[in-house]
Structure 1
Amino acid sequence: MSEPVLVTIAASLASRAFAGLYALVRAKFADDPEATAALTAAEGAAPDSPQVAALSEVLRRAEAEDAAFGDRLRREHERVTVRQTGRVNNHVTGNPTGPVVQAGEINGGITFK
């Protein structure tokens, strides 16, 4: 079973949310038809889909075989996601159909109309 961060990365790849991350993985998989097929199959798939799960497993294997790739993959993922040290760390993947809020602290309520 893949780590949650690899599932998050796979979901980001499926949505092509981050071009640099996608390009890194696409280049790594260029000579591997099975891995490329998993990447292609996951495109547009829901974050909890079997295709994204399969892609996260392919990423896990790629990391195990090539530690340098794993480091680059995680660094690129960190670079493209928003982080507030000691605060909130949200990852929104897929295609949200409703409002999304990311906040460090909220005093009072939030209303969506």
Structure 2
Amino acid sequence: MDDPILTAIAVALSTRAVEGLTDAGREALASLMHLVRRKATGHRELRASLVAEPTSPEGDDRAVELRRALGDAAARDPDFDQELRRRWATFQQATVRADAVTNTVSGQVTGPVVQARDISGGVHVGLPPQQRHQP
């Protein structure tokens, strides 16, 4: 089964992308990496996938192998799985941009809904002008 959280963790760890992260984001990623490295000391496949160099320019193969090894380690050790997910949630919280927008609609909606952050120009909700006066 494909687990999107493990996939996201594998991509983050395999690309080692820290550019643009806040200090809190870098610390959270380092904590996640520390946990995975500690687990890798007793897990041969995980250790090998962490040190492997990508064989393709995109590095996707490294993330795929790391994802498999993380899944195996998490399946064998529920405590590791739980801590991995907790640290991933901490990383995600630390990397949410202050200017990020979350739109939510709740309740019963019977008409149009517009969700936006920045709008340049006007917004028109309704029938197009050519359809307004047709019987």
Q: Distance in 1 between matches of 2:53 and 2:85?
A: 19
Q: Distance in 1 between matches of 2:62 and 2:86?
A: 23
1:82 and 1:48, CA in 2 relative to 1: closer, same or farther beyond 3 A? farther
Structure 1: 5+ residue stretches without partners: 84-88, 91-101
* Partner AA of 2:75 in structure 1: A
Following superposition, the deviation at residue 42 of structure 1 comes to 6.0
Following superposition, the deviation at residue 31 of structure 1 comes to 2.4
1:47 and 1:103, CA in 2 relative to 1: closer, same or farther beyond 3 A? farther
Whether the 8 Å contact between 2:43 and 2:73 is mirrored in structure 1 is: no
1:42 and 1:63, CA in 2 relative to 1: closer, same or farther beyond 3 A? farther
When normalised by structure 1's length, the TM-score is 0.67
Q: Say which of 70, 85, 98 aligns to 2:81.
A: 70
Structure 2: 5+ residue stretches without partners: 19-28, 102-115, 121-135
1:34 and 1:2, CA in 2 relative to 1: closer, same or farther beyond 3 A? same
When normalised by structure 2's length, the TM-score is 0.57
Q: Say which of 100, 104, 129 aligns to 1:103.
A: 100
Matched positions, count: 92
Following superposition, the deviation at residue 4 of structure 1 comes to 1.4
Q: Distance in 2 between matches of 1:42 and 1:70?
A: 25
* Partner AA of 2:39 in structure 1: K
Percent of aligned pairs sharing the same letter: 29
CA RMSD of aligned residues (A): 2.8
Whether the 8 Å contact between 1:42 and 1:55 is mirrored in structure 2 is: no
Partner of 1:14: 14
